[in-house]
Amino acid sequence: AIFRNGNRVSLSSDIPGSPLALIGPLFNMEAAMTMQDPTNPESKVFPSGREGINLEQAIKSVTAFPAWQLRMEDKIGTLEVGKYADIVVLQQSLFDVSRRDIADVRVLATMMHGKFTHRDGI
């Protein structure tokens, strides 16, 4: 209902209160999409009867919406000419994996301001 009403929602984690394995954007996206614990294949939907968000909403919730909330949408959040080249290269397209596998997709590289900050296999 929140997204249908046009609200902009950001997904994030409680840092430093959460364990490192539970703070990544892909983990948060899977949890918001499935309403289940990504670390537990047997977890039940919580809260019961609720539907998660879709992949497009999840992606915007870790990119464009946080940029807007920080009032930095002119610099970050989407890929456009004139913005910082902040990107993530994933091993698989999130559109090609099941919702329950989003958190397991490997990050191959990250770039900030057009420079690699992480490389794993690239």
Over the chain (122 residues), what is each successive 10-residue block's mean pLDDT? Answer: 83 74 87 93 87 94 95 94 92 97 95 91 78
Both tokens of 33, joined, read 């999409």
Neighbours of 66 (CB within 10 A): 20
> Rounded to two decimals, what is the model's pTM?
0.87
**What's residue 85's pLDDT?**
84
DSSP single-letter state for residue 92: S
**What's residue 1's pLDDT?**
64
Both tokens of 2, joined, read 């929140």
